[in-house]
Amino acid sequence: MFKARLKGDVLKEMIKVVSTLVDEVKLNITGEGITLKAVDPAHVAMVDLSLNKEAFEELEATDCELGVDIDKIKEVLSLAKAGDILDIDHDEEHNKLVVHIENITRHMSLVDTMGMSDPKMPQLNLPANIKLAAAELNQGIKASESISNHIALVANADGFELSSQGDTDSVSLKLRKDLLLHLECSEPVRSLFSLDYFANMIRSVPSSGVVTLAIGQDYPAMMTFEIAEGNGSVTYLLAPRIENE
């Protein structure tokens, strides 16, 4: 059983996070909230998201799994205005998700979860941990997009750098330690990543949000941030691009 009321803006945040990687996702639902884990088809990136009970206006649920089509949820959300409240029910008899928004009711078929995996987020002990405003990262991403299709993330005890190197031009965002919200770095590190993946992940962070980046030398990057006004959390994992010698 699943019955919930929540702000449309909260569901939009959640769907924005997930849609960067997958078109379908399995929601693990309990009376305490919703969790999900998904890996993109290319196995380059992973997302681990949780939405706590406090993120909902109302939540009644027993333990269940629901497979949803992201595009169908987006279609419903396109009808929602700022401040709108959505009512969501699971019609168990017909195995459909029923969404009410103002005078509109949408019945949508669910996706079979049998073939959906339950990936595990690896435990990585990465030497560099950087906390900064998402707006800073977005500025570096915007500057890099005309230069190359990949970016380097670099950290040492003095600060953090996001850089991009093209055939003729280069660009970098350098932030000294005193310009960061937090920096721990036990050794100098540098890893290269796909700019498209990294940009889409960072752009799913709420506009005034804060990102914690954990990176290593040619290791995956781990990004964590909050959604739903602190009542939800997201962790992304992005595999590195190994540079040719």
Separation CA 234–CA 16 (nearest Å) = 11
What confidence score (pLDDT) does residue 244 get? 55
HEC profile of 42-102: CCCEEEEEEEEHHHCCEEEECCEEEEEEHHHHHHHHCCCCCCCEEEEEEECCCCEEEEEEC
Separation CA 191–CA 205 (nearest Å) = 21
**Tokens of residue 3, six digits:** 């019955």
What is the third-level CATH fold of 2-109?
Answer: DNA Polymerase III; Chain A, domain 2 (3.10.150)
Residue with tokens 């409240």: 85
Domains 2-109 and 128-238 fall in the same CATH topology? no
Domain ranges of the chain: 2-109, 128-238
Separation CA 133–CA 147 (nearest Å) = 23
How far is C-alpha 196 from the geometric centre of its chain's CA atoms?
14
Per-residue pLDDT of the chain (245 residues; tens, 9 = 90+): 999 999 999 999 999 999 999 999 999 999 999 999 999 999 999 999 999 999 999 999 999 999 999 999 999 999 999 899 999 999 999 999 999 998 999 999 999 998 888 899 998 999 999 999 999 999 999 999 999 999 999 999 999 999 999 999 999 999 999 999 999 999 999 999 999 999 999 999 998 999 999 999 999 999 999 999 999 999 999 999 876 54
Q: Which helix (H) or strand (E) holds 142?
A: helix 134-144
Looking at domain 128-238, which of 3.70.10.10, 3.40.50.300, 1.10.287.3510, 3.80.30.20 is its CATH number? 3.70.10.10
